[in-house]
């Protein structure tokens, strides 16, 4: 937010009164929520209506840390919101996404009550950034069909119209952004690339009369499980569909290596968690999210079953 404000003409001197000093920001991971909302209010006052929407349009997936990294491996557009919901339930009480569907439309509700103006502005930035994230992961011009805000309309709507390109509603009962259901079911660019690779390999092997090796299937399944875990533990049908196999066929092919699908789930969870504990500074809750657990305590129990050590003990001796 500060970088974008500087880009729009503010100077370092404009931020000397921040409760979180600007010089310390690069060395801290979080700021108090009220400091964040206060900054939103300051920038709205200095740079005018629409700054929150403009800064949302400048967000990149990498700016969201672990959550953003997980978005890159989503299989379909709407899975972003499922992963966001899981993430905030595990790591935050700041807000919650909820998806409501009817016959043609999906509404993504942003359930964060605005007890001050800065929260309203942060909600605007969040919904604006959502548009950018969906376009990035699908590599398409996917656009919402409607955006709703609980607060009153600003005097100028130019930035809102440019960002959302759809009808805008204010003074509404809920904050939400709505998309066509079929758009949120769109495969992501990553998923299309993976599916295409698997299918091309299958066609090439079948053309040459070569049966897909059991070892290669195990490796492919492990990679797909790893990508899917931030959404929760995937089912064998889901992975089989990506590989172009029925549940029965995939189960049989894994059995050729004396493995079950559940074996690979546990193996992948253990390997991913150990790698992250060794080679990253991610919190235990973040690692629990990335390995498919719904609670940090459940992850810690499972990890101790695998290693006879708690995650913290394991990290200390690495």
Instruction: Please write the tens of the pLDDT for every residue from 149-179.
Output: 999 999 899 999 999 999 999 999 999 999 9
pLDDT at 227 over 60: yes
How would residue 202 be classed by pLDDT, with cut points 50, 70 and 90?
Answer: low
How would residue 92 be classed by pLDDT, with cut points 50, 70 and 90?
Answer: confident
Section 75-90 average pLDDT: 90
Same domain, 96 and 168: yes
d(CA 230, CA 269): 11
Query: Considering only CA atoms, which of 59, 58, 61, 84 is closest in space to residue 72?
Result: 61
Same domain, 113 and 252: no
Is 191 inside a domain boundary? no
How would residue 113 be classed by pLDDT, with cut points 50, 70 and 90?
Answer: confident
Same domain, 143 and 261: no
pLDDT (0 to 100) of residue 209: 55
Section 229-252 average pLDDT: 89
pLDDT (0 to 100) of residue 217: 82
| Helix (H) or strand (E) run with residue 52 in it | helix 51-58
pLDDT at 201 over 70: no
CB 123 within 8 A of CB 149: yes
pLDDT (0 to 100) of residue 226: 94
CB 61 within 8 A of CB 68: yes
CATH number of the domain where residue 259 is located: 1.10.10.60
Report the percent of the chain where pLDDT is more than 70: 92
Is 262 inside a domain boundary? yes
3-state SS track over 205-260: HHHCCCCCCHHHHHHHHHHHHHHHHHHCCCCHHHHHHHHCCCHHHHHHHHHCCCCC
Same domain, 95 and 231: no
Q: Which of 96-100, 153-157, 274-278 has the lowest mean pLDDT?
A: 96-100
Question: Which residues are CB-contacts of 13 (< 8 A; sequence separation ≥ 6)?
Answer: none
Q: How many CB atoms lie within 10 A of CB 51?
A: 23
Same domain, 90 and 15: yes
Same domain, 156 and 274: no
Same domain, 173 and 279: no
pLDDT (0 to 100) of residue 21: 86
CB 100 within 8 A of CB 109: yes
Q: Which of 57-61, 143-147, 217-221, 291-295 has the lowest mean pLDDT?
A: 217-221
Is 203 inside a domain boundary? no
CB 61 within 8 A of CB 71: yes
Rg (C-alpha) for the chain, rounded Å, is 22
pTM: 0.83
Same domain, 219 and 297: yes
Burial class from Cβ neighbours inside 10 Å (0-12, 13-18, 19+) for residue 125 reads: buried
Is 259 inside a domain boundary? yes
Query: Considering only CA atoms, which of 63, 10, 64 is closest in space to residue 39?
Result: 10
Q: Which domain holds residue 77?
A: 2-184
- 190-224 core/surface letters (b: 16 or more CB in 10 A; e: else): bbeebbeebeeeeeeeeeeeeebebeebbebbbeb
Same domain, 87 and 178: yes
Is 75 inside a domain boundary? yes
Dihedral pair phi/psi, residue 314, rounded to 5°: -60, -45
Q: Which of 36-40, 256-260, 262-266, 276-280 has the lowest mean pLDDT?
A: 256-260
Section 5-23 average pLDDT: 91
Is 285 inside a domain boundary? yes
pLDDT (0 to 100) of residue 93: 66
- 176 beta partners: 109, 148
pLDDT at 246 over 80: yes
Same domain, 179 and 215: no
Same domain, 161 and 267: no
Mean model confidence pLDDT for the chain: 90
Same domain, 154 and 241: no
The total domain count for the chain is 2
Looking only at the bridges linking them, the beta strands covering 105-110 and 168-169 are unpaired
Q: Which of 135-149, 153-167, 186-200 has the lowest mean pLDDT?
A: 186-200
pLDDT (0 to 100) of residue 198: 65
Query: Considering only CA atoms, which of 137, 116, 118 is closest in space to residue 126?
Result: 118
d(CA 203, CA 183): 29
pLDDT (0 to 100) of residue 274: 96
pLDDT (0 to 100) of residue 265: 96
pLDDT (0 to 100) of residue 28: 83
290's tokens: 């990335």
DSSP 115: S
Section 5-29 average pLDDT: 89
């Amino acid at each position: 937010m500060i970088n974008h404000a500087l880009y729009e003409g503010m100077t370092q001197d404009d931020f000397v009164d921040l409760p979180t000093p600007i010089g310390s920001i690069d060395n801290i991971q979080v700021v108090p929520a009220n400091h964040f909302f206060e900054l939103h209010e300051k920038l709205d006052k200095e740079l005018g209506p629409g700054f929150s929407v403009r800064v949302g349009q400048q967000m990149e997936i990498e700016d969201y840390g672990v959550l953003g990294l997980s978005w890159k491996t989503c299989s379909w557009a709407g899975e972003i919101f499922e992963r966001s919901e899981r993430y905030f339930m595990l790591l935050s009480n700041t807000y919650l996404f909820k998806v409501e569907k009817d016959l043609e439309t999906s509404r993504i509700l942003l359930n964060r009550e605005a007890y001050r103006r800065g929260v309203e502005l942060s909600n605007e930035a969040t919904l604006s950034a959502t548009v950018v994230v969906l376009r990035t992961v699908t590599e398409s011009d996917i656009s919402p069909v409607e955006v709703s805000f609980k607060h009153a309309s600003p005097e100028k709507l130019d930035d809102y119209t440019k960002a959302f390109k759809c009808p805008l509603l204010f003074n509404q009962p809920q904050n939400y952004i709505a998309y066509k259901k079929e758009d949120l079911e769109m495969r992501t660019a990553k998923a299309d690339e993976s599916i295409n690779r698997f299918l091309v390999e299958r066609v090439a092997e079948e053309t040459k009369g070569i049966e897909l090796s059991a070892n290669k299937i195990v490796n492919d399944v492990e990679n797909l499980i790893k990508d899917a875990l931030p959404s929760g533990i995937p089912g064998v049908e889901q992975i089989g569909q990506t590989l172009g196999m029925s549940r029965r066929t995939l189960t049989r092919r894994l059995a050729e290596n004396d493995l079950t699908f559940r074996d690979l789930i546990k193996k992948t969870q253990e390997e991913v968690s150990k790698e992250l504990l060794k080679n990253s500074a991610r919190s235990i809750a973040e690692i629990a999210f990335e390995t498919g657990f719904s609670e940090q305590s459940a992850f810690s129990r499972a990890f101790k079953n695998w290693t006879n050590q708690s995650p913290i003990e394991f990290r200390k001796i690495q």
